[in-house]
């Protein structure tokens, strides 16, 4: 396709639009950021495979015009691992949600981080299970109302980025659907990072989580991200009291000291064929 086409025409399946998401949902903004990020890299689109699980965010690869593997709930990462492991020339991107990735897929998530295989994982974090109607997820803030926490959520949420860092991911970043340019930059860095990368995209679910917690419209929720977000460099100069209820955005981890998994396996094949 000609390069002068708009990125949406190049990288979105126009015949599948409009999407199924609710008015005001942040998921579309994350896809927008993803295709712009891909356009910034020199990745051959025919080598891209977008793998997803189950949930609202996992429908994203139906709209992007690349190879797509829409898998079972929580399982996107191990499917993606098999794709990448067998053919390391592929650029494998995982689109997943907070429930898909950190609840039912939580074990796969920490092991993918540990393994450091070259996958780019985008976690659409909207703080609840949207597709099933707004139940609490592992990232729902304590005290929040959802369909299964009508008296206030007593669970303690995961910090996805801290979890990824502790488990060994070699690129970890967060942005929000308000901070789109930052999100695009982080996604482009993540795609080019030679190892397991995680980008948490904080996004709004005005129909469920927002409505149940009286957070206003989608636009209101986006503005709340503007107010809550503090970039990492600035946060480092603030004390705990000032950071209370703030959302730190930016790149938390970017390391290249651990060799990527498929590269290690290529060395292993050489050793095995060498007979030792």
Partner 1 sequence: MMEETYEIMTGNEACTHAAIAAGMRFFAGYPITPATEIAELSSALLPKAGGKFMQMEDELASIAAVIGASCAGAKAMTATSGPGYSLMQENLGYAVVAEVPLVIAYAMRQGPCQGVATLPAQGDIMQVRWGVHGDHPVIAVAPDSVSEVYTETIRAFNLAETYRTPVVILTDAMLAHMSERIRIPRRSEYECVDRKRPTCAPADYKPFADDGTGIPPMASFGDGYRWYCSGLIHDETGFPVADDPQLITDDIKRLMGKVDNHIADIESYEEYQTAGADLLVVSIGLLSRSVKDAVDQARRQGIKVGLFRPVTVWPFPENRMAALSRQVRQIFVCEMNEGQLYHVVRESAGTTPVQQITQNNGKMIAAETILAAIKGEN
Does 101 help bind partner 1 (rule: CB under 8 A)?
Answer: no
CA atoms of 221 and 26, how far apart (whole Å): 10
Does 89 help bind partner 1 (rule: CB under 8 A)?
Answer: yes
Does 19 help bind partner 1 (rule: CB under 8 A)?
Answer: no
CA atoms of 256 and 29, how far apart (whole Å): 29
Q: What are the backbone dihedrals phi and psi of residue 196, each rounded to the nearest 5 degrees, phi first? A: -80, 120
- State which residue, 49 or 205, has the beta carbon closest to partner 1: 49
* Helix extents (H) in the chain: 7-11, 27-40, 76-86, 98-99, 106-115, 160-167, 180-192, 211-212, 218-228, 232-235, 240-243, 261-274
- State which residue, 10 or 258, has the beta carbon closest to partner 1: 10
The interface mask with partner 1, positions 228-267, x = CB under 8 A, is -------------------------------------x--
# of chain residues touching partner 1 (CB under 8 A): 39
- State which residue, 28 or 106, has the beta carbon closest to partner 1: 106
Applying CB under 8 A, which of residues 61, 121, 149, 175 lies at the interface with partner 1? 61
CA atoms of 168 and 227, how far apart (whole Å): 30
CB 97 within 8 A of CB 125: yes
Does 166 help bind partner 1 (rule: CB under 8 A)?
Answer: no
Where on the chain is the footprint of partner 1 (CB under 8 A)? 16, 45-47, 49, 51, 61-62, 65-72, 75, 77-87, 89-90, 107-108, 111, 265, 268-269, 271-273
């Amino acid at each position: 396709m000609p390069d002068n086409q708009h990125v949406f025409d190049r990288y979105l399946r126009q015949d599948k639009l409009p999407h199924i998401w609710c008015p005001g949902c942040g998921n579309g903004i994350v896809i927008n950021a993803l295709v712009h990020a891909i356009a910034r890299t020199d990745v051959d689109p025919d080598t891209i495979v977008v793998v997803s699980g189950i949930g609202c965010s996992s429908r994203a690869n139906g709209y992007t015009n690349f190879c797509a593997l829409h898998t079972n709930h929580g399982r996107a990462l191990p499917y993606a691992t098999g794709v990448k492991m067998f053919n390391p020339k592929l650029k494998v991107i995982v689109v997943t949600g907070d429930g898909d990735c950190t609840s039912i897929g939580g074990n796969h998530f920490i092991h993918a981080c540990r393994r450091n295989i070259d996958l780019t994982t985008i976690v659409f974090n909207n703080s609840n299970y949207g597709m099933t109607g707004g139940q609490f997820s592992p990232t729902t803030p304590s005290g929040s109302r959802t369909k299964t926490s009508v008296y206030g959520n007593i669970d303690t949420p995961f910090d996805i980025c801290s979890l990824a860092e502790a488990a060994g991911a070699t690129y970890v970043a967060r942005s929000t659907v308000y901070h789109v340019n930052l999100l695009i930059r982080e996604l482009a860095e993540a795609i080019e990072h030679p190892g397991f990368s995680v980008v948490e995209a904080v996004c709004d679910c005005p129909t469920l989580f927002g409505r149940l917690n009286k957070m206003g419209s989608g636009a209101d929720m986006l503005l709340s991200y503007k107010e809550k977000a503090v970039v990492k460099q600035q946060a480092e100069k603030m004390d705990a009291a000032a950071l209370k209820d703030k959302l730190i955005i930016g790149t938390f981890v970017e390391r290249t000291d651990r060799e990527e998994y498929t590269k290690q396996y290529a060395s292993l094949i050489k050793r095995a064929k060498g007979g030792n």
